[in-house]
Chains A and B, each alone.
Chain A
Amino acid sequence: MKKQLLLVAVLLLSFSIKVDAQSKNTKGKQLFGDLTARHIGPALMSGRINDLENHPTNNRIIYAGTAGGGVWKSNDGGVTFNPIFDDYCQSIGAVEVDPNDPDNTIYVGTGETWTRNSVSYGDGLYKTVDGGVTWNKLGFENSDRIANIIVNPKNSNEIYVGVLGALWGDSEERGVYKSSDAGKTWDKILYTNQKTGCADLTMDPNNPKILYASMWEFRRTGWSFESGGKDSALYKSIDGGATWNKIHNGFPEGSLGRLAIAVAPSDSNILYTVIEAEKNERKGLYRSDDAGANWKQLNNDFGITVRPFYFSRIVVDPKNPDVVVKGGLSGSISRDGGKTFKNLGNMHSDIHDITFDIHNSDRMYAGTDGGVYRSLNGGTTMEIVENLPISQFYQVSVDDAEPYNIYGGLQDNGSWYGPSSSPGGIEARDWNSIGAGDGFRVLKHPTKNIIYSEMQGAENVWRYDVAAKRVKTIQPLPQKSFEKFRFNWNAPMAISAHQPNRFYMGSQYVHKSEDMGDTWTIISPDLTTNDPLKQDQSNSGGLSMDNSGAENHTTIFTIAESTLDENVIWVGTDDGNVQVTQDGGKTWTNTIANVPDLPKNTWTYHIEASVFNKGTAYVVFDGHTMNDMKPYTYKTTDFGKTWTSIITSDVVGSVRNIQEDYVNPDLLFLGTEFGLYITINGGKNWIKFTNNMPAVAVHFIELQKQTNDLVMGTHGRGIIIIDDISPLREINEEVLKEKVHFFTSKPTVIFEEGSFAGSFGAETQFVGANPSRAAQIKYHLSRRHTFGKMTLEIQDDNGKVISKLGPGKSKGINIVNWNYRLKNPKVAKGKTFSFGGFTSPLVEAGTYNVVLKKGKETFTQKIELIYDPKSNLSASDREVKHNTTMKMYNMTEELAYMVYELDAILEKAETLKKKKIVEKLTALKKTLVITTGDNYVGSAEPQLREKMSDLYSKIATSYDKPSNSELESLSIIEERFEVAKVDYQKIKKKVKFLDELNLKSFEEFIK
């Protein structure tokens, strides 16, 4: 019986292992292990906020729903925030706290609702019942964007959701929905048509049966925007949504656009709406004093009517019905019931939402294109929240400096560059502004200290001489016998791996300069479809004209010169062409017809020219502006004659970017609307990377060559880095099967830089993490180690243990940091600490053995340390430094042992009342260690121990060899120690009870 059972178990075991091996390839959490994303922000310019939400009873708690960076919660009245929605769609429309269970139940509606050209899209409604630790989706998968969620303050089961719906196409998943069972089932209770969605929904706070809903007819295409129509309307229901009536008495005639609605919490009869109408003089703020029966226009100032699709929120002071705030370019506040307005205090422009503190209306919060702002004086002075790293990058690039810098441009927040590591972490002050307006591509000149950057539509392209601080604009200017240039909002720029001064730009033509943008030559015909129907931007906007340049279409969007052949250039256009030249622009071939299974005119988002073969390239297409959210990624190996899809069902959402590894051609990185995917087999399957990596839109990926760091420009969570992806190059089916597989890594440079990092004023700032400077031991485990002993040691060639490390035990990739130091010396016991004695000396450069013991098995690997080649210490200097350090290390331990002995003798002598010995030893001890005082300002005069360990620490922590004065100081200490030793031996000789003390040997003592 027992035997049989065992057999079954063996079978079962082998079966489960087999299943595991298969699932390894599909589950990132089981493969990537300690390979973890590092967020470096920046947060100093923050990013777009869509919705702010108060806690109904606790004014310390506030939520920010961001346009592309998820949901953030503050527990301290808006001083600092933490993310609580990282695993899901990061584009947020609305956040609602259940007023009946505000600490636990929160709803998040995804898909931002201020519908600019660059918005992302949502994937449904989520709910948590444990304060944000776990979330469940409640449906609305195709809702695209959710404008409002309202929970009945008297009944948690009754929920209303306003769905704005699809921006880029028809959809029936729009309107107002109601659930009576806490979200399990839903009824559509207000619906107009496939073009008209719910833009705003509110409930009378004093009567949950009364609802107001604004319906908005709107549509965006890649080339235009249309706001307004005959079906836009404002509705009221007095029966919990069963019936609805238009409330337009006093409204302007004709078509309406986006409407906002607000009820004064302190007086249910007072309503405000903002109306987008046909006639400019009839647009603006309207008020009703009879709960919507009649409306009166009060104000149509610029601040109230500006860009309704982008700003329409109205918020009424919870205590005073005449204090009204309206989102806008600057934000406006009225204290006379909406008759007159003034701007809110100075802050980042584009205010989307405002909220008042629940107890004190002087305290306000505003959500802008540049983060959350707080006010303590009713909106007059605004201060920015400094730890919301939700910056929206369009593009990112890197240089080859040490540490390397990262360059990129942001939605409405200019262009920036900053370091990948900085003393004390990457702080706000480490970032440098390198462009105004909206920022997009930023490129460093390959050899000179020059940076190129641009603003929207290439209105300005800047060439910045960093050292001389000189700026000039170099955008291509109109040329004879060429049509007017059409630049994309996010216009492509490119540099060359072959000619450092070469610089490309794309309009409908490819522009090439060989002198850093001073002289431009057009090297292509119009490479777009040149469809005139997509070029009528001056009529874009609908009821409110909106020709910002954001809708410019039939333009080139991506340019890539092959790093293998400068005559091979790839070009992709926003209207779906993929063009290639093999003769430096003389002839061009449009290869789009060779791309299978791709809807016509799908936006060519990025082309990656392979570094392995000049005929090989990757292209990603983004169809979301045609309401097509499917992923498209193709590869060619023959200059585009044939294209093969390398996308699989593993990938969800639009693809924005692809990055090829420089070493392993089968290792590819894919940036999508919902995060990063990695393939280790050329696209046969894709694995989502989720280690500290939110499901954020990844718009651009670069691989930094020297460090193998994967650098991502995300559209909502700033720059995210995965340090050293090289272990992924080695992963294959065989490696996954090994019990322990050590990855090879390049030699580690012993880090000797020092600096004066200070975090002055950074207490409430976001600080980006630095990469590890440690030597990293990397290995793959086929199973997680849970039972039995597992150890990891560093040994020298003689098997001597240099360091004991805590091994990683995860299934997947483990990374263990070794700071290449010995343990600190054993220090003599005194009254206080000898701080110098906490110094751990560096080991010497060389090769060390990594010994991993797991149960009874032992696995080994070599690890190499090298000195910084930039160091000017010679080998003999190094030797002097090391020998002196170790001499003092040993001396420190020798003294420690002497004091240990002395203390033991002293104690015994005291009990035996050997007065003379006690006196002599006490006198000697006073010269050896501190015997009074404390570790702070009560410290006593330093004695031999302190002098010795301080000098030891001074020499050990210096990058330099010991100086003459240090060596002189050492000889003084040595002499004093010699004298002490002689004195001690004299006393010790007279002690008769040594044998009774049972003293440890020196070796035992220092263990």
Chain B
Amino acid sequence: MKKLLLVAVMFLGLVANAQTADEILATYYENIGGIENLKKIKGLKMTASVNQQGMEIPLEIYQMADGKQMSVINFQGKEIKQGVFDGETLWGHNFMTMKAEKSDAEATANMKLDMNDFPDAFIDYKEKGYKVELLGKETIDGAETFKIKLTKEPVTIDGKKEDSITYYFFDTENFVPIAIQSEIKSGPGKGMMSEITMSDYQEVEGLYFPFSMTQGVKGQPGAPLTITKIELNPTVDAALFAFPEEK
């Protein structure tokens, strides 16, 4: 409680001053445990579950500093991997055959662009050639937020280069992102805005992470993802990310 109050002091003190995007980001890093500590992380393993229509789907999400990542879903004791990336190949299991299949070349190329975004795209954004802009304030989930626009390297969509733009909403009270929005670039939802809202920030080894994320389309109810455990710097066999070639 004391700690919280102290934190509140920090926040309140800064509300009046925090005007630029960089100041907001600096406060954010300070509040969640320090940018230096964040940069030291080599990887994350999240144990989570998605509740969909009564079906509780357990999953494990791996994100590594070198850009490797995967989600492992457990269905009836069978492991199904989705969004697996080993730095070169993006792949996932087909639900019908349960065999690994590669994603299309565009998706893979776009994924490669994000390899330098662990654990947080904002870290060293200038060095990465990204652009950050404070657009103003917006109310999200009833809370006042700073809306920050992040422009990364252009992505390729259906054969055409398009800007990669993401909007982050930092709570003006706590200076942590509570929502992320970006335009859906292809598929049936093309042109609509996707939204992830975040909450239940909790401490893991001195760093704060959101333990609850709800993903969906802006303005429509999303699917809640509940994280039960976050493990820092997990030991993971690199082979698990590799595309299993058929023998």
Contact = CB atoms under 8 A, between A and B. Distances in A.
Given A75-B190, A785-B200, A936 B97 contact: yes
Contacts of B171: 784, 786
B9 A6 contact: yes
Contacts of B167: 133
Nearest to A11: B12
Interface in B129-152: 135-136, 139, 141-143, 147, 149
Given A806-B212, A810-B141, A934-B97, A824 B51 contact: no
A320 interface: no
29 contacts: A8-B9, A36-B219, A74-B191, A75-B190, A76-B190, A103-B162, A133-B183, A134-B147, A692-B220, A784-B143, A786-B143, A786-B178, A789-B202, A789-B211, A790-B199, A804-B51, A806-B51, A806-B212, A806-B225, A809-B200, A809-B212, A811-B141, A817-B221, A819-B53, A823-B56, A824-B54, A827-B76, A837-B76, A840-B53
B98 interface: yes
B219 A692 contact: yes
A-B pairs, top 8 by smallest CB distance, nearest first, are: A806-B224, A811-B142, A829-B77, A840-B54, A821-B54, A82-B191, A810-B141, A784-B143
A896 B192 CA distance: 42
**Among B97, B171, B199, B211: residue with most chain A CB under 10 A:** B199
A717 interface: no
Interface residues of A, number: 70
A58 B160 contact: yes
B100 interface: no
Residue among A9, A769, A790, A834 with the highest chain B CB neighbour number at 10 A: A9
Contact of B139 (A30, A785, A817): A30
A125 B116 CA distance: 41
Interface in B191-210: 191-192, 197, 199-202, 208
A55 to B, nearest CB: 11
A36 B142 CA distance: 13
B214 interface: yes
B176 interface: yes
Given A784-B142, A810-B141, A804 B56 contact: yes
B230 to A, nearest CB: 13
A805 B160 contact: no
A786 B200 CA distance: 5
A788 B142 contact: no
Nearest to A134: B135
Interface of B: 4-6, 8-9, 12, 51, 53-56, 75-78, 95-98, 135-136, 139, 141-143, 147, 149, 160, 162-163, 165, 167, 171, 173-174, 176, 178, 183, 190-192, 197, 199-202, 208, 211-212, 214, 219-221, 224-226
B217 to A, nearest CB: 11
A838 interface: yes
Interface of B is mostly: strand
Interface in A757-808: 769, 772, 781, 783-790, 803-806
Nearest to B218: A692
A217 B153 CA distance: 52
Given A36-B219, A134-B135, A829 B78 contact: yes
Interface in A1-24: 5-6, 8-10, 12-13, 16
Contact of B54 (A783, A790, A822): A822
Nearest to B161: A103
Nearest to B225: A806
Contacts of B176: 786
In terms of DSSP, what is the predominant structure of the interface of chain A? Answer: loop
Contacts of B219: 36, 691-692
Interface in A815-831: 817, 819, 821-824, 827-830
B141 A936 contact: no
Contact of B12 (A16, A786, A805, A837): A16
A6 B6 CA distance: 7
Contact of A935 (B55, B96, B174): B96
B14 to A, nearest CB: 12
Given A33-B142, A786-B143, A787-B174, A130 B149 contact: yes
A812 interface: yes
Nearest to B184: A82
A823 B143 contact: no
Contacts of B163: 103
B178 A788 contact: no
A535 interface: no
Contacts of A75: 190-191
Contacts of A822: 54
Given A8-B9, A103-B163, A810-B142, 17 more contacts: A27-B139, A81-B191, A133-B165, A769-B220, A784-B142, A787-B208, A788-B202, A790-B212, A804-B226, A806-B51, A806-B212, A806-B224, A810-B143, A811-B142, A812-B142, A824-B56, A896-B77
A785 B214 CA distance: 13
B214 A806 contact: yes
B161 to A, nearest CB: 10
A313 interface: no
Contact of B201 (A10, A33, A786, A938): A786
Contacts of B220: 36, 692, 769
Given A31-B142, A103-B163, A811-B142, A12 B51 contact: no
Nearest to B133: A130
A934 B139 contact: no
A193 interface: no
A29 interface: yes
A833 interface: yes
Contacts of B173: 786
A817 B224 CA distance: 11
A649 B149 CA distance: 33
Contacts of A810: 141-143
Contacts of B224: 805-806
A659 B222 CA distance: 31
Contact of A9 (B8, B51, B78, B191): B8
A882 interface: no
Contacts of B78: 829, 833
A829 B80 CA distance: 13
A936 B99 CA distance: 12
B174 A12 contact: no
A823 B54 contact: yes
Contact of B96 (A27, A130, A824, A934): A934
B143 A832 contact: no
A73 interface: yes
B147 to A, nearest CB: 8
Nearest to B167: A133
Contact of A13 (B6, B8, B96): B8
Given A817-B221, A829-B76, A935-B97, A788 B200 contact: yes
A733 B190 CA distance: 42
B98 A934 contact: yes
A785 B198 CA distance: 10
A832 B55 contact: no
A784 B178 contact: yes
Contacts of B5: 6, 9-10
Contact of A809 (B141, B174, B202): B141
A790 B6 CA distance: 22
B8 A819 contact: no
A691 B220 CA distance: 10
B109 to A, nearest CB: 20
A762 to B, nearest CB: 12
A298 to B, nearest CB: 41
Given A838-B55, A935-B96, A811 B143 contact: yes
A781 B212 CA distance: 17
Contacts of A804: 51, 56, 226
Nearest to A82: B191
Contact of B199 (A772, A786, A936): A786
Contact of B53 (A74, A134, A821): A821
B176 to A, nearest CB: 7
Nearest to B80: A833
